[in-house]
Amino acid sequence: MNSDIDLSLYLVTDSSMVPKTKTLAQIVDEAIQGGVTIVQLREKTAETGDFIALAKSLQQVTKKHSVPLLINDRIDVALAIDADGVHIGQDDMPLAQARKILGNDKIIGVSVKTASEACDAIKGGADYLGIGTCFDTATKRVSGNDLRGPAGIREIWQTALDAEGVNKPVRAVTIGGVNEYNAVHVLQYTRAQKIDRPLDGIAVVSAIMAASDPKHAAETLKRQIGFALSQSWIAKHSLLGKEIIERSEESVRHAVANVFTRVRMPSNVRPLIQHITNSVVTNDSANACLALGGSPIMASSDIEQKDLAPAISSLLINIGTIDQAHVAGMRMAMREAQFYNTPIVLDPVAVGASGFRKGLVQELLRDFAVHVIKGNAGEIACLLGSDEVQMRGVDSVGVGFTDPVAAVSSLSRRHRCVVVMTGVVDYVSDGIATYAVHNGSRLQACITGSGCMVGTSVATFVQAVCHDDPLVGALAGVVAINLAAEHATSRSDVKGPGTFRQAFFDE
C-alpha cells in the first residue's frame, strides 16, 4: 500500500522534446528542483537495452532527490533497475498480474478513461488513477469522444470515490493538456462534490518537457497547484468547513458594506476592470464602472491580452454582440486571467438564441475558470438545459422558475462558481448559500443595457474578495446597481426612462 506518495506535480517524460543541448536526466533534475514530486519514464519506441540505460540515468537523479521513479508499461525494465513502480494502461499487462510480479511494496498506477475502468482499477488494488484525457495535448491528438474536459474528469473521479469494496484510500491525477494556465481551473472544477475532495495532483508532459526553463516551469505549476488546493476561495471554504462560515443576514450585510468601503475608498487605487463586452453598452458600462469606483478598460484584441493581464483586477466577458474576432480576444484574455488567478465574470447574453452562442459558452465554461456567471432566467435555464424558462432574443420570457433557488444553486455547484440570476427579484448563490435581492427599480427594464451594467458592477466589486468570498462580492455588485436605480427613481426630476438613465449614473 503506497498511500503516502506525493502526486501533486507528476511529470511524464517525452524524449522527443529534449533539446540537443540537454539530456533527459538534466531536464528531470531541473524539474524536480522546481517542485516535481513523482516522475514517470515513458519511452514508446526505445529498444530494451536503451530503455534500461535511460532509466538508470534517471534513477540516479530521482534517488538523489528522494522522488519516486515509475516506468511506463514495461514491467521488465522496472524489474531490471528496481524502479519504484510502474504505470500501466488498459492495453498493457493486467493489473493483477503486474501486482503479482512486482509485489505489494511497488507503486502501480493505472490509466483510465471511463468510470467502469476507474472502479475496476481501484478494486483491483491500484495505488492511483491517471484519469484522462482532460484536454487535447501536444503529445496526443485525441478524438472528440475522448476529449472530456474537467466535467468528465470529475464524473469519473466521483464514481471512483463512491466505488464499493475498496479498502484503501483512492488517489488520482488527471492528464491531458494541463498547464500553468489551466491548472487551477482543472483542480477546482474536478473536486468531487459529495465529499468536496480534490484530485491529488496533475500530470504534465509538454508543460515542463517543452519549456525553455524546466525548473521555472515546475515552480510555476507548483505555485498554481498550491493556490488551487489551499488559497482559492473554494479550497478555503472546504478547509474551513461549510458549517462554520458565517452566513447570517447581519453578517452578510456587514460583509457587503465592507466590500463597498474597500472599493470606493478615495485613497485606494481604482481597480482596473477589463470589459470585452457588446457594442450596444460599451459607453454605459464604462461610465457605470467609473461611477462605482472602478477604472474601465475596453480591450478586446487578442494580441494585447498578454501585456494587459498583469494589471487587470477583474475581467468581464459579455457575449452580447459576438463575432470571431471577439471570440479570439475573449479566449486569450481568459487564458491570461487564469494565469494570474484574476476573477472572471461571464455574462452569457442570449445564450439560447443560437447554436453558435450556446456552443461558445459551453466551450468557455469547459476551458476556463469563471468566478461568476451572471444571466437572466432564460439564460440560466439554457445553461442548465432546462425548458422551464424560454428566451426571445436577449429577453427571458414568462414568469420564471418555480424554484429559482434550486436553479441558481444547481448551476453554481455544476460550475464551481457564484451564479447571479437577474429579474424582478435577483438571486445570488455559491451553491451552498443563496440570497434573494429585492431592491431595484422597474425602470431598469426600460433602458438598454441595464442587465449588462449589473455584470460591470459585479466585476467591479467581486475582485475585492475574489479569493475569500466571491458570493459577498457578487452580492455587493448586485445591491450597488439596484440601490443606484432606486435612488434615481425617487428623484423628482426623473419622469421616465430617458431622465432615469441620466439620474442612474449620478446615483
Locate cell 461610465: which residue? Answer: 287
Quick one: CA dihedral 392, 395, 398, 401, positive or negative?
positive
CA distances to 272, 295, 314, 498 from 269, rounded to whole Å, are 9, 9, 14, 33
Residue type, 363: E
User: Does 119 qualify as catalytic in the annotation?
Assistant: no
**295-298 sheet: strands from edge to edge:** 295-298, 272-276, 314-318, 344-347, 372-376, 418-422, 426-429, 434-437
- Nearest CA to 300 out of 330, 324, 279, 321 is that of 330
**Any bridge partners for residue 418, and if so which?**
372
Angle separating helix axes 149-162 and 115-123, nearest 10 degrees: 40
Residue 86, classed as helix, strand or coil, is: strand
Per-residue exposure over 423-434, b if at least 16 CB sit within 10 Å of its own CB, e if not = beebbbbbbeeb
Residue 411 exposed, middle or buried by CB count within 10 Å (0-12, 13-18, 19+): buried
CA distances to 205, 351, 384, 421 from 401, rounded to whole Å, are 45, 17, 12, 11
Q: Choose, from 289, 417, 452, 466, the residue flagged as catalytic.
A: 452
The number of helices, as runs of H, and strands, as runs of E, in the chain is 20, 18
Q: How far apart are CA 362 and CA 358, in angstroms?
A: 6
Span between the terminal Cα atoms of the chain, in Å: 64
Locate cell 436605480: which residue? Answer: 485
Contact indicator for 11, 188 with CB cutoff of 8 Å:
no
Locate cell 463575432: which residue? Answer: 323
Cell of 213: 526553463
Q: How far apart are CA 184 and CA 171, in angstroms?
A: 18
Cell of 334: 481568459
Q: How far apart are CA 450 and CA 455, in angstroms?
A: 9
**Any bridge partners for residue 172, and if so which?**
129
Residue type, 413: R
Q: Please give the positions annotated as active site.
A: 452
